[in-house]
Structure 1
Amino acid sequence: MKTVYHKADSRGHADHGWLKSYHTFSFANYQNSERSNFGVLRVLNDDTVSQGMGFGTHPHRDMEIISIPLEGDLEHKDSMGTTAVIKKGEIQVMSAGTGIMHSEYNKNKDEAVKFLQIWIFPREVNVEPRYDQIDITKDEKINGFQQILSPDKNDAGVWIHQDAWFNLAKFTKGNGKNYTMHKNGNGVYAFVLKGSAKVGDRILNERDGLGIWDTQSFNIEAAEDTEILLMEVPMELPSYLK
Structure 2
Amino acid sequence: MSTLTKQQFYETLVHTWWPEDKITTFNKCRVLVCGMGGLGLEVAKNLLQNGIEQLTLMDSKMVSYEDLADFYSIVADSKEEEVIGRNRAERAMIVLNGLNPFAKINVKDGQVDSLAGDVQFLKEFDFVICTEHSLSSLIDLAQICHDNNIKFVASDMKGLSSLIFYDMGEHKIKDLNPGFKEGCSIKDIVNGNPTKIDLFPDDEFNKEEGMNVHQNIVFRNVRGMTELNEHKAVRIKSKIGNRVVVDLDSTNFGKFELGDGSAYFMK
TM-score (norm 2): 0.27
Larger of the two Rg values belongs to structure: 2
Which has more helix, going by share of residues? 2
* Bigger relative contact order, structure 1 or 2 (CA pairs below 8 A, ≥6 apart): 1
Which has more strand, going by share of residues? 1
TM-score (norm 1): 0.29
